[in-house]
Structure 1
Amino acid sequence: MPAEHTRGDLHCHAFRFGSRIDYYNKIIDDLLTNGVTPIVTLYHFDLPQALEDRGGWLSETIIDSFDKYAQFCFRTFGDRVKQWITINEPNTLALAAYELGIFAPGVPHFGTGGYQAAHNLIKAHAKSWHSYDSLFRKEQKGIVSLSLFAGWVEPADPHSVSDQEAAQRALAFHFDLFAKPIFLDGDYPDAVKSQVASVSQKQGYPASRLPEFTEEEKKMVKGTADFFAVQYYTTRLVKGQNKKGEQSLFRDMEIDMFPDPSWKNVNWVYVVPWGIRKLLSYIKDTYNNPVIYITENGFPQSDPASLDDTQRWEYFRQTLQELFKAIQLDKVNLQVYCLWSLLDNFEWIHGYSSRFGLFHVDFEDPARPRVPYTSAKEYAKVIRNNGLEGHP
């Protein structure tokens, strides 16, 4: 554990991280010694260049490579790690990295790359789940899933049929594209298949740009998750819009997404606590009331950040209230909540300028000293009390 003993300050019971060998052996052992349950993520956008040079997630060859890597991790750490996330936000990766080219490798493939990457990500996850199930589960008795990013969407005009349908399409393309094959029936949503096929035909393609699962692949993909892991940050409003121009995933969806101008925000995260309750209810109703883990939820500060982040803590407090309602009123089977993040860290295209941590990190100091924000002290109270003050 770090010298600052942040577990002692927070009294946390779970901590989520990426992967390496000796370093992580020590972290796993230290976490367990301190009463913290590790939830291990095998892949968080950190693809070795050698695999990217062979096509990355656009190439089917990566499926076997990922499975071998996953098996190594299960074999190496599985005697102590009992909760696994195979891939962090595959839906974000497919869109941002291989459709838009915003994330590494930074090369856009509009209208094709996101779908092809999604196809391979789903099959890679499923194959590694089966490897755990057949080779390790009996002895190690762990559970395996993947973490899906989910921003909630609301019709901009709740009385507009067009906007209602647009919100349904947004969920289908951004969320159900991954969730439905894995948690329901092994195949993509009908709305996505018909929409992409229709637009592809209009664009002169001989077949849909969305790859198809074979019957054997559908059987292989279906049911390959032991719990439903989801990551929520924010909500958007959605309008139907018949987009023209070049092919893209957004052209296929025919929607326009935007925030309500009255919502407070830092960068892309708008404060919409009620969105998480609606999302959880959607998962419960759509995916047969699964066990749900919230593996990320947070709100950033811009740099330079104030150690007194009382306003940010108010967002967390409101969010925790919505989770309480989801559990008590909606009967959502929510069992784990992981706040993002323990420490300020590197936030992809935002670098070190967007601070999600409960602990401030001085990135200008080689020693990286860590100091708790006000939110860390407040969250420690929640963990000690197993809930907000005033709630049973």
Structure 2
Amino acid sequence: MKFNLSFVLLITFIKDIHGEHCEKGWPFPQDFLIGAASAAYQVEGGWNASGKGENNWDWFTHNKPWMIADQSNGDVACDSFHKYKKDVAIMKDIGFDFYRFSISWSRIFPTGFANDISKDGIKYYHDLIHELRSKGLEPFVTIYHWDHPQVLEQMGGWINEMMVDWFTDFSKIVFQEFGPKVKYFVTINEPSSFCYGGYGGTSKAPAWNLPLNAEYLCMHNVLKAHAKAYHMYYEKFRSTQNGIIGIALPCNHYFHKNEEDSITPDIAFQYDCGWMANPIFSKDGDYPKIMRERIDENSRIQGWPRSRLPKFTQTEVEYIRGTSDYFGLNHYTSYIAVPVQKEVNKGWANDRGFYQIVDPKWPVSASSWLRVVPEGFGGILRKITKEYGNTPIYVLENGYSDTGSLNDLDRINYYYSYLKEMLLAIKDGCNVKSYAAWSIMDNYEWTEGYNAHFGLLQVDFNDARRKRTYKNSAHWFKNLLQSRTLLPVQNCTNNN
């Protein structure tokens, strides 16, 4: 492949935040894994190819297009269903160690259930995994990244406790078919995103918009489904496959508004990250104590016969606790947590007792929710380590959105500043084992449609061939992966 795009890296003396001079840059630890990530609905296309069934995002985008910023859908997306060999060749050329991708549930179970398994769907992922391994890339497989058969959504989706068994049935086939060639599994990606956005709000499918109730039921079932799949893997597959399995959690970092307030940022962490992480990674398990106390109190004040935050039995607490071989972290941005004073005989505001704001000085991206706050990345890595001990941390998503420029210096600066903070956190004792850039290419960004560009590769969505073009950030990563060293960025230019 020939590309006209090039860039220039100038190495200078820099002074890091610890006051040390770094002449040759920051080397990555030995055996540290660097990869790129995607998700099935966002890149595959082929929405009804080879007998694939309809999933919840197919239905949502076809029937409620007004809820997508540009009224688009993922019917074709990047067409990776047909172009996976080209994509793997590009990742090989850049030099990535692994590719994190997800399995389309409805491509494997076209009717939604385990009594009808698609041979064509199975073959597609076997072919993709074979292509990756033949090019020296490790497949990092996410079992569920927000897309499930629409028939399951019609039956209640993640609000229905039967989803625990349905997800376990799907996971079993994934382990049986692909486990012999896969070392790394993620059960479920970002449960709070689809529980809040899909069931408690309108920013994700199915947009039920039942806040302060449905999201708690959703998460309760997600945690049980994750644990059941984890135990199944260990009982039936690990002795022969020798893989590791975990869950990917989106965790923001929270700063205080006032220096004397050391409490609110921790409360925000417990609601944002601990809600998902505490039942799995903490010593005692279960939901964070602060959540239990405040939501129970609000439920009583509001006249509910029981708490809106469901309760695990002690058996369930023990069953869920410890069900992850690593802490899978997706991190993009940070917020400032501001406390809300509780009034006598009234509930905690929004069940939380705080709200979040951003510092207007933080640089913006093309996504309204994403501000550039690199110190927050180091902060969340240290917070996870402090809360949950020395568990290995696999960074499975981190990235920046813009409007699509090939000369994407802002993206390069984002990656440099965030990677530097990660390496500083490793130096401080955080047990970080991998890093995945989101995303390998511009793709379908859910309700943002094709307006937000996160890719290292530009994809021409007006071209039927979905032409891929290297951005400067792709060349920057290629240089980084050749040297395995994070070098100071001075300039990136497009020399045509």
Shift of 1:9: 3.0
**Is contact 2:340-2:349 (8 Å) kept?**
no
1:258 pairs with 357, 363, 375, which one? 357
Q: Does 1:237 align with 2:320?
A: no
Q: Does 1:308 align with 2:407?
A: yes
Higher normalized contact order (CA 8 Å, seq sep 6+, divided by chain length): 2
Shift of 1:387: 2.1
1:165 matched to which residue of 2? Answer: 263
Name the CA distance, whole Å, in 2 between partners of 1:188 and 1:30.
41
Please give the secondary structure, in 2, of the residue aligned with 1:375: helix
Q: Does 1:353 align with 2:437?
A: no
1:280 pairs with 369, 378, 381, which one? 381
Q: Residues 304-343 of structure 1 correspond to what in structure 2 (within 5 A)?
A: 305-328=404-427, 330-343=428-441
* One-letter identity of the residue aligned with 2:98: A
* One-letter identity of the residue aligned with 1:238: A
Runs of 4+ in 1 over 4 A off after TM superposition: 247-250
For residues 153-205 of structure 1, the C-alpha deviation after alignment (integer angstroms, 9 at most, x for no partner) is 1111122x3xx332222111111011011112331111110010111111111
**Is contact 1:181-1:187 (8 Å) kept?**
yes
1:3 matched to which residue of 2? Answer: 86
2:134 pairs with 23, 33, 41, which one? 33
**Is contact 1:150-1:230 (8 Å) kept?**
yes
For residues 110-162 of structure 1, the C-alpha deviation after alignment (integer angstroms, 9 at most, x for no partner) is 21111100000000000000000000000000011010001111111122x3x
Task: Give the TM-score normalised by structure 1.
Answer: 0.94
Q: Does 1:269 align with 2:370?
A: yes
Shift of 1:385: 1.3
Q: Does 1:17 align with 2:98?
A: no
Structure with max Cα Rg:
2
For residues 72-99 of structure 1, the C-alpha deviation after alignment (integer angstroms, 9 at most, x for no partner) is 1000000101100000001211111111
Please give the secondary structure, in 1, of the residue aligned with 2:438: coil
Name the CA distance, whole Å, in 2 between partners of 1:129 and 1:177.
19
1:188 matched to which residue of 2? Answer: 287
Q: Aligned residues, how many?
A: 383
Name the CA distance, whole Å, in 2 between partners of 1:311 and 1:50.
42
Task: Give the TM-score normalised by structure 2.
Answer: 0.75
Name the CA distance, whole Å, in 2 between partners of 1:250 and 1:12.
45
Please give the secondary structure, in 2, of the residue aligned with 1:85: strand
* One-letter identity of the residue aligned with 2:380: L
* One-letter identity of the residue aligned with 1:308: N
1:120 pairs with 221, 229, 233, which one? 221
Please give the secondary structure, in 2, of the residue aligned with 1:343: coil
**Is contact 2:196-2:211 (8 Å) kept?**
no
**Is contact 1:186-1:220 (8 Å) kept?**
no
1:218 matched to which residue of 2? Answer: 317
Q: CA RMSD in A?
A: 1.8
Shift of 1:389: 2.5
Structure 2 unmatched runs, 5+: 1-83, 104-120, 490-496
The structure-2 alpha-carbon separation of the partners of 1:372 and 1:70, relative to structure 1 and needing over 3 Å to count, comes to same
Name the CA distance, whole Å, in 2 between partners of 1:140 and 1:174.
34
For residues 44-96 of structure 1, the C-alpha deviation after alignment (integer angstroms, 9 at most, x for no partner) is 11021111111100010110000010011000000101100000001211111
**Is contact 1:300-1:355 (8 Å) kept?**
yes
**Is contact 2:342-2:348 (8 Å) kept?**
no
For residues 14-46 of structure 1, the C-alpha deviation after alignment (integer angstroms, 9 at most, x for no partner) is 101111521111110010011101110011110
Which deviates more, 63-72 or 2-11?
A: 2-11
Name the CA distance, whole Å, in 2 between partners of 1:145 and 1:116.
21
* One-letter identity of the residue aligned with 2:86: A
1:294 pairs with 389, 395, 399, which one? 395
**Is contact 1:9-1:377 (8 Å) kept?**
no
For residues 334-372 of structure 1, the C-alpha deviation after alignment (integer angstroms, 9 at most, x for no partner) is 010000000111111111110100000001111000001
Q: Does 1:370 align with 2:468?
A: yes
Q: Residues 124-163 of structure 1 correspond to what in structure 2 (within 5 A)?
A: 124-159=225-260, 161=261
**Is contact 2:333-2:370 (8 Å) kept?**
yes
Q: Does 1:51 align with 2:130?
A: no
Q: Residues 59-98 of structure 1 correspond to what in structure 2 (within 5 A)?
A: 59-98=160-199
* One-letter identity of the residue aligned with 2:95: H
Name the CA distance, whole Å, in 2 between partners of 1:204 and 1:230.
37
**Is contact 1:238-1:255 (8 Å) kept?**
yes
Shift of 1:254: 1.8
Name the CA distance, whole Å, in 1 between partners of 2:469 and 2:342.
48
2:31 matched to which residue of 1? Answer: none
**Is contact 2:183-2:242 (8 Å) kept?**
yes
Shift of 1:310: 1.2
1:383 matched to which residue of 2? Answer: 481
Please give the secondary structure, in 2, of the residue aligned with 1:271: coil
For residues 365-390 of structure 1, the C-alpha deviation after alignment (integer angstroms, 9 at most, x for no partner) is 11000001100000111111112137
Which deviates more, 2-11 or 191-200?
A: 2-11
